[in-house]
Chain A
C-alpha cells in the first residue's frame, strides 16, 4: 500500500507551506500532490514556492503531481488550468475542465473531486490517459471493491481517501467572506485564520462541518485506520493523507507503521486522535450508515 500526501486544502502562510513540503520530502510517503485546490485567490501568496518544492520532493525520490482547482470558472482560472502541464510533473485532475487542456497522449491522474462512481467512467478516463484515480470519499465499500477490480483490469492505480477532513462541497460563494460580512472579491483572506478550517456547529453545539473559503468540509477527520485490511484486500493500492497542521510527518509515520504491521487499528486511531489535536475520527462513508459515523465509536459516543 502506497501513501500519497494530497494537496493542502487550506490557506497557509508561504513559510509554513514551504516548511511543510520540506518535511514531506523526509516523510515515509511515496507520492505528493501539491498546488492550489480550493481558491485561485490564494495562489499568488505561494506560487513562486511551488517549483522549489517540486524540485526538493523529486530529489527526495517522491512521485510528484500538481493539482487543478476544484472549480474552474473565471478566465484567469481557465488559463491557470491550461498552464498546469508546464510545471513539468503529472497533473491531477480535480475539475473535469482540466481534461479539455490535456493533450491526448499525456498520462494524468484523477483526484477525489471528480465523479468516478462506476466502471464506465473509470474506463473512459483510462482510455483518455488516466493512470491513477483517487476515488470520491462518498463511495461505499461495494463500489470501492468493484472499482479497484476494474482499475486492476485497466492498469489504473486506485487510491482512497485515508486521512483528513473530508471535502464535502465546493461553491461559487465564499463562506468565510460571508461569515465576516465581506464580499468574495473583498474577502481579505479571512480563511487564513483557520489553517485547518473553521468548525461549524449545530444549534445543539454539536461539531458538524468545517468551512474553508468556498469549500465545505466535514468536522470529523476521516480515517481508514480501521479499514486498512479491508481496502488492501479489495485491491486498493494507495491511501491519501490530506494535510493538516501539527505533526503531519507523525501522521505519515504512524500510517507507515500501520501498513508495515507495527501498529494495529486501535493504536493508530489513538495516535491519530492525539496528533490531530482531538479531532473526532470518521469512516462512515465506507461502511457506516452515514458519512459522519466512526466504526470504532464507543457506546454512548456518536456512532
Chain B
C-alpha cells in the first residue's frame, strides 16, 4: 500500500500546486485565529475553501481543515462556526486539538471525520484510544518527541490511524503545551496560532554582528557573513552555567525521508509535511519528491537519494526524535 502524503497549503494556489504535484491529501485552515498558522496573507476564506475542496476532489485528493488552536473563552462561536463551515465546504476531515471543541464537533457534526492535531500532543497509545472512544477520533497526528520504535509500539496498541511529520519545521517541545512564545511576545501557538511571530522580531547591527531579538530578548547573533536563521525561540543561542550555545535545539529542520521504510513498518498511515507558510513552488517540489519516495517504497524499488537537501533553506536537517541519539 502506498503511504498517504499529507501536504500543507497556505493559499488556494498552493493547494492546486500540491494536488497537481501528487498530494494525496492537503491540509489548510481558515484565515483567522482558529488555525495554528495564523500568519498575515495566509489561509482561506469560506469561498476559497469550498473551491479548494472541489478542485482537490475533482483531482482525487482529499482536504483536511485544521481548526487546531484552543478556542478563546467567550469566543468559542468563532471556532464552532469554523467546524460547521468546514463541513459545509465538503472537507474530508477537521483537525482539532481542544477537548471542548472535539466534544462539540462529535455532538453537532457527527458525520464529519475528526483527526487529532499534533497540538494535542497525544504521545501514548492509551491517549490515542481515549480520544477515539470519547470523541470518535479516527486519526492522530503524533508529536515530534517520539522515536520510530515508540511509534511502532503505539500502533501495535491502537486501531487509530497515525500520521507523522516527515519534513519541515521541528518543534522540540511537546506541541500545544508550550508558552515560551507568549512569555516573550504575548502571542502563542495555542491562543493565537503563531510562534515567535515576525511582528515581534527586531534585527540590529551589533558591532558588525547581526543580532536578532524576539520581544526584546536576544535570540541569536551571527557574523556578517553567516546565514541568519529565523529567531525561533527554542532554537536560539543562550547561556547557562558555563555553556553557551543552542541549549534547547540547534537551528535545524526535520527531514525523515530516509526513514520512510521504517515508518511503513511501524504501521504509520500518513506522512505529513510541515509548512503552510511556504511558497507553492516549495510545496510542489517537496510533494513530488515524497510522492516518488512512497511510490518507490510501495513498489519495492530503492528510495531516491537525498532529494530534498537543498530545500532545508540553509539549515541543517535532522531526523529529529525519530532517531533518538539523545535517548
Using a CB–CB distance below 8 Å, which chain A residues touch chain B? Answer: 70-73, 75, 77-78, 96-97, 99-101, 113, 115, 117-125, 136-139, 142-143, 146-147, 150, 166, 168-175, 177-179, 183-185, 198-206, 208-209, 211, 216, 218, 284-285, 288-292, 302
Contact = CB atoms under 8 A, between A and B. Distances in A.
Nearest to B239: A201
Nearest to A202: B218
Contact of B217 (A138, A146, A171, A208): A208
B266 interface: no
Nearest to A179: B243
A115 B70 contact: yes
Given A73-B145, A118-B100, A120-B76, A97 B127 contact: yes
B246 to A, nearest CB: 9
B179 interface: yes
A173 B173 CA distance: 8
Nearest to A198: B240
Contact of A125 (B99, B101, B153): B99
Interface in B138-194: 143, 145-146, 150, 153, 172-174, 176-180, 182-186, 188, 190-191
A211 to B, nearest CB: 6
A303 to B, nearest CB: 9
Nearest to A210: B240
Contacts of B153: 75
Given A169-B234, A206-B218, A208-B217, 7 more contacts: A73-B145, A100-B126, A118-B98, A138-B182, A138-B188, A139-B73, A291-B182
Given A171-B173, A202-B217, A203-B221, A119 B240 contact: no
A265 B221 CA distance: 39
B78 to A, nearest CB: 11
A143 to B, nearest CB: 4
B180 A290 contact: no
19 contacts: A78-B124, A115-B99, A117-B70, A117-B71, A117-B72, A118-B74, A136-B179, A143-B73, A169-B177, A170-B174, A178-B247, A178-B248, A183-B327, A202-B217, A202-B238, A203-B244, A211-B240, A216-B180, A284-B186
Contacts of A115: 70, 97-99, 176-177, 190
B237 interface: yes
B124 A73 contact: yes
A201 B74 contact: no
A124 B236 CA distance: 38
Contacts of A284: 183, 186
A254 B228 CA distance: 47
B178 A117 contact: no
B253 interface: no
Contact of B99 (A124, A199, A206): A124
B130 interface: yes
A177 B123 CA distance: 21
A209 B180 contact: yes
Nearest to A291: B183
A55 B174 CA distance: 34
Interface residues of B, number: 66
A83 to B, nearest CB: 13
B148 to A, nearest CB: 13
B248 A175 contact: yes
Contacts of A178: 247-248, 326
A72 B238 contact: no
B219 to A, nearest CB: 8
The 9 closest A-B CB pairs, nearest first, are A120-B100, A172-B145, A121-B100, A291-B183, A146-B73, A117-B70, A100-B130, A169-B173, A290-B186
Contacts of A172: 123, 143, 145-146, 174, 321
A55 B3 CA distance: 54
B22 interface: no
B104 interface: yes
Contacts of B232: none
Residue among B98, B188, B217, B220 with the highest chain A CB neighbour number at 10 A? B217
A291 B234 contact: no
Given A73-B150, A201-B240, A218 B327 contact: no
Given A117-B73, A206-B217, A290 B100 contact: no
Contacts of A208: 184, 217, 238
B215 interface: yes
A187 to B, nearest CB: 10
Contacts of B89: none
A198 B244 CA distance: 13
Nearest to A166: B183
Nearest to B145: A172
Contacts of B188: 138
Nearest to A205: B239
A220 B57 CA distance: 51
Nearest to A185: B327
B103 interface: yes
A143 B191 CA distance: 11
B127 A177 contact: no
Contacts of B306: none
Contacts of A173: 145, 172, 249, 321, 326
A59 to B, nearest CB: 35
A209 B184 CA distance: 10
B174 A171 contact: yes
B35 interface: no
Contacts of A118: 70-74, 76, 98, 100
Interface in B246-263: 247-249
